[in-house]
Amino acid sequence: MTILNKPFETQYNTAPFSKIKNDAFLPAFKTAIKKAKKEIDAIVNNNDKPTFQNTIEALDYSGEELDRISSVFFNLNSAETNDAIQKIAQEVSPLLSEFSNDITLNEYLFKRVKAVYDSKSELDLSAEQATLLDKKYKSFARNGANLPEDKKERLRVIDKELSQLKLKFGEHILAETNKFEMLLTNECDLDGLPDGAKEAAKQLAESKGKEGWLITLDYPSYIPFMTYAENRTLREKLSKTFGSKGFKNDTLDNQDIVLEIANLRYERAQLLGYETHAHFVLEERMAETPEKVNHFLTDLLSKAKPAAINEFEKLQEFAKELDGIELLQKWDSAYYSEKLKQKLFDLDDEQLKPYFKLENVINGAFIVASKLFGLEFIEIDTIDKYHNDVMTYKVVDSDSELVSVFYADFFPRAGKRNGAWMTSYKPQMIKNGVNERPHVSIVCNFTKPTKSKPSLLTFNEVTTLFHEFGHALHGMLANTTYPSLSGTSVYWDFVELPSQILENWCYEEETLKLFAKHYDTNEVIPMELIEKIKKSATFNEGMQTLRQLSFGMLDMAWHGVDPSDIKDVKSYEIRAFGETQLYPEVEENCMSTAFAHIFQGGYSSGYYSYKWAEVLDADAFEYFKEEGIFNKTVANKFKTYVLSQGGTENPMTLYKKFRGQEPKPEALLRRAGLIK
């Protein structure tokens, strides 16, 4: 038995990262799967009549050790991976897939679950219990419990293959990201780049024993170069490399993997009696059907496209006027957008960054959480961490009771995938009368401090931090009985509401004055800069909206159809982007082969949910604005009906309890400046 199969005898029961050796994971998984199988057998072999407690509740609490090991392992595979961990992931994923199928295809277990489900009208269940019963029954019915044996067997094979393909897809992207380096030895090639970005590039080169300046595909390196570098040829090179991840017909190519995943998902949906993968997924979403999603996307497209075309033409004119650019390309987008923004609003990120020192922004997020929800964040160094960069906190309420353990991991490194996300190492639940508090983490990729400057964030990175922190609050403030309904375990198109609503505070003077202070002089951000931030908030919003819609439409193009006739990933993608394309097509690039959200993560048939949740968050924030952005009554309603409830009730029911009405899309269009 490994350290992972015993209770963690640590403060707050946190994961003992430094004591876990890689070679402990595989045996730990095998032991935990055996234990979880015994727990399932105990439910199946219970001679008592099936009840909510001895079947549904027992099932939800089963596999706790396995879930804990999985969360530690797969979070490390995202934030601190290496060859050994990736190899273990390839071995472990089929085992977990098989175990999951052993449960959902266990006809004796399903009989017990169905017996409770069929008698639900006679049971006196709370709203949360009724939701759990419905969810457990559907987890069987939607995963093949009613299928004949031969189809069950095929389902097992498909799920095993999918788990491995998704891992391989992500490994290819990470390897592509890590292997590319653009070493610049002529300082002229960095013209236009801010001093901080230059210094970071030099420091990165030094850390690898190289002379010059090193640019990589990691966001803190890639984005400043694409935004500020005057050398158009180098911007083109970097953009094409970034856009061709998984699309080079080499050992890291993802084209066949994309086709295999799409076809296996379709076959799986068909086996289960659904028209497409999107029909299967959306049955358990607020949007309900692909038709509704497509209507939602095309409706927004009709409203955003005229604005996007207008913005694009203005950007094209500006680039031509400034530098004689006849045809605007994708690698010109960030560069000329930034230049035009500077001209229109006399504002650029370099003016703002000194006011957004990472530590101050973190503190700002904590102050907002304190003013809204009465939380206090106390940094502690007594719990184990998986990397020295990780910051650790104890979160308490106004009575000094533990709410959560919080990990924050902010800087890029070789073993960490790009982007930003929130995750959990331990869920919240109430078991045996004890309210087990969650362990929550946010992971980002911000510029590291240099020898002369602390980590200074762009305004976009500030909103990213608040976004992930909003997800974290959803996890931290969870207060449900059952682990599978706790925290962010909600419908996928509802999960972005807590994250996206928190971004709104970043644009408010009342908030910015709390934490936006110059890293050198401690001067509070000047009022005129706050005004410029607010005025520029809707800059190129039409183009931004079109970009998001294009991703949602590409997702639905892969998952809302029979993909068996698709032979060429690139040409299919071009057709899917037809209605949303502004820039000329780049032959060497392909979005699908690096679209990790839908081919590796959990967003397949769900990418639309970012926009869907924006409708919710714009409507919800209008309520805060009406009453005051730190109004305790509104904040308490949001905490009570949204943040603490997890997936205990239908999200629209929870939203209406908070807001008193269904969300109105006009709130989003008003905020985006697309209607008055």
Question: Which of the residues are catalytic?
Answer: 468
The pair of three-digit structure tokens given for residue 569, joined into one six-digit string: 């990933």
* Residue 341 near residue 347 (C-beta atoms within 8 A): yes
End-to-end Cα, the chain, rounded Å = 64
Please list the alpha-helical segments (H only) found in 560-665.
Answer: 569-576, 596-599, 609-627, 632-638, 651-659
The angle formed by the CA atoms of residues 429, 434 and 440, to the nearest 5 degrees, is 40
Please list the alpha-helical segments (H only) found in 283-409.
Answer: 290-323, 333-345, 349-352, 358-373
Q: How far apart are CA 425 and CA 407, in angstroms?
A: 9
Question: Considering only CA atoms, which of 272, 294, 237 is closest in space to residue 101?
Answer: 272
The pair of three-digit structure tokens given for residue 468, joined into one six-digit string: 């992930």
Length of the chain: 676
Print burial letters for 286-317: b (CB count within 10 Å at least 16), e (below 16): bbeebeebbebbeebbebbbebbeebbeebbe
* Residue 279 near residue 605 (C-beta atoms within 8 A): no
Write phi, then psi, for 186 (nearest 5 degrees). Answer: -105, 115
Q: How far apart are CA 506 and CA 530, in angstroms?
A: 10
E strands along 77-130, which residues?
none
E strands along 282-381, which residues?
376-379
Looking at the DSSP bridge assignments, the partners of residue 408 are: 391, 442
* Residue 634 near residue 640 (C-beta atoms within 8 A): no
Strand 391-396 and strand 434-436: the pairing is unpaired
Q: What is the largest CA-CA distance in the chain?
A: 81
* Residue 509 near residue 668 (C-beta atoms within 8 A): no
* Residue 440 near residue 375 (C-beta atoms within 8 A): no
Q: Amino acid identity, residue 223?
A: I
Print burial letters for 41-75: b (CB count within 10 Å at least 16), e (below 16): eebeeeeeebbbebbbbbbbebbbbbbbbbbbbbb
- Residues in contact with 432: Cβ distance below 8 Å, sequence separation at least 6, in sequence order: none
Tokens 């206090």 locate to 376
Cα separation values, 529 from 238, 305, 513, Å: 32, 30, 11
Q: Which helix (H) or strand (E) holds 182?
A: strand 182-184
* Residue 540 near residue 388 (C-beta atoms within 8 A): no
- Residues in contact with 317: Cβ distance below 8 Å, sequence separation at least 6, in sequence order: none
Tokens 């987008």 locate to 333
Q: How far apart are CA 560 and CA 300, in angstroms?
A: 19
Write phi, then psi, for 456 (nearest 5 degrees). Answer: -110, 130
Question: Considering only CA atoms, which of 288, 290, 286 is closest in space to residue 277?
Answer: 290
Q: How far apart are CA 534 and CA 78, in angstroms?
A: 35
